[in-house]
Structure 1
Amino acid sequence: MTDFPILTWTDPAAGTTHTARWRSEAGNPPPKRVTIADDRTTADAAYRQACEGIALLWRGDFQNARQLLQAMSRRADRKPRKAATSPLDAFNLHRQAQSQRARTLGMLLIPLQADYSIDLRRAPDVHEACSEAYGEGEEPSVVSLRELLGLIGAHEWRKKGVEIPALDGERIHPHYGVFSPVRGEYVDLVAKAPLPSQALAFDIGTGTGVLAALLAKRGVKRIVATDQDLRALACARENLSRLGLQSQVELREADLFPEGRAPLVICNPPWLPARPSSPIERAVYDPDSRMLRGFLDGLAAHLEPNGEGWLIMSDFAEHLGLRSRDALLAMIEAAGLRVAGRDDIKPKHPKASDASDPLYQARVAEVTSLWRLKVK
């Protein structure tokens, strides 16, 4: 019995039925209806079938498939937006539109051989990109072209890395499925905040390891960095080794805190209390503020006397109506903590200046803060 989903389709020309492993990092089930598509398939026909829930297994030129996906994307983007009545309504409509768009564009499928080669004209070599995301191949599989292009893009990001000015221009190389530190304002906050101690720090939910690396660069002698995602731990380990900081940072698989106490405990949890629709979104969406609450509720038990907990949070959720400032302060109060100080910074990412973005009003008002928390 297999432990992964199976995609089934019929080749009408040969009258044969085929099966292959179905791959979806978002956990989407395999399409129930599949038709064969090739270079003769028009964008209008492909988009219509995708909207009806019919997947198109591509048998033509690979580059033509990319062009077809772009044409389908343009058709999806032409769909009129519903008018929002509030920031929260705008957020919900935006998420709904994103989900529908992803579902439709995910209906163009590419077959992969067991070694991740693609038996299509002008197909690129995706072996390394697929191996980084999926592990070594074992059997033929099928994946959406949209996901495959995401893997290729992530592979390029991993090779190139993201320059971090606070690390003296060093680069952090994100792995597939690990959130990239492209928004550098939160890193700048950690780079400038006064350290309560240089002896020991806990980095909760380390991700790429960027904040652990920064603390090490700032002279913290020992950092224990945790994450429950094995991809994140592998990514952090590689980055810290590349930076020559592996002797200062101990990585542990854990849901939130390691054992013991530290004079500094730092956490940059997901900022929006909503349900993620894919693994990569877990760095942005925190259902019911689970990680935020867990960090606050457990902080007092893991701080040394006079120690500080650094909570790095955007107030984007507040401007969207997803969580109020009073609710955040109530969580801090209920956890037996007090606010010793707060450092703020305005985001500089492109969406903050894009007036066509459906969430522009919330983005332009957004502030990212480093809350310095102490036990009452």
Structure 2
Amino acid sequence: MKIEEFTLERIQSLYENTVEYNLSDSGVHPYSLRELLTPSEQRALLDVELGYGWTNGKVSLREAIARLYPGRDADNVIVTNGSAEANFLLVMSLLEPGDELVVFVPNYLQILGWARAIGVNVKQVLLREELGWTPDLDDVRKVVSTKTKMMTICHPNNPTGSLLSRETMDGLVAIARENDVYLHADEVYKGAELESQEPPSFADLYEKAIVTSGLSKALALPGLRIGWLVGPAAEIYASWQSKDYTSITTSAVSEFVAEIVVQPAKRQEILARSKRILRENLAVLSAWVEKNSDLFSFVPPKAGGMAFLRYSMDINSTTLIHRLREERSIMLLPGDVYGLDKYIRIGIGAPAEHLQAGLERLAGFVRSELR
């Protein structure tokens, strides 16, 4: 089996910790445990036994996660080491060589890469910028066939921050149901909507939906490495079978903290912080784009910790981000990693002063070096 390079993760892992201004992250500035936990919770954490737990996740944690999805119970949930492991288990347990997978792009391309590696036939549906980076349902109908086993979408979207209307969500569910295919949704940015109410999960709308989520993005806790899959019990059990061959269990410490975080009141407290940070930073970025509108434009994100900017300079996006890194110590992500040159992804979840300083350096570079 030959696995193609996951270029997005390779670029970030190589360089994000080597620059002065890292604007490549898509999540919200993380908590410390001292900020997150009450004094009594901190004391209780010290008594957690560091043994093996349940290989599919602590029962009480799975029950707490299940309560976020009406009508689900612990058997509909598996806890994983981050949403990345959840995506891996999804592919390895539900897709076979020769199956057909429909991927909405741009997207976080982990699932696409794994699927191709095991011999899955991948078809792509382009999200349309003129539709606010959402799909045209006619495009979806043209691609789905009798061979299609699953559709997968990132919602809210990485890298554009777009949100689907309820009408479009219902339209995707109708197409999936009509063709009896799985509908997978990566929902790690769900809850970080900037101007609208949190939408339903696809797991709430369709009996064959499978959802990836976790604590890393909207909930600003990537260091805990807690993710999950939610879906039909039989498919979740199949993913558990695969997990026995991977990480076995998640961290007992992380599960203790996660169970606190997913309680409704605590979750809403964290999401309120995330939305405040993202709204303030989107205002900063929007003002900067307007000031530099001869060089940059974008569809403002509606959710999540990033924005996808189009630029007008005559330079390849990967070349651009490496020059910025080497010459100005700024880290961005190139549109190339999503298959879209002449775009860059900028994170808006960092502290405001960090974002402002990085944007100033970016503007200075493009005006002095690329004009």
Alignment TM-score, normalising by the size of structure 1: 0.27
User: Which structure: greater helix fraction?
Assistant: 2
Alignment TM-score, normalising by the size of structure 2: 0.27
Structure of greater Rg: 1
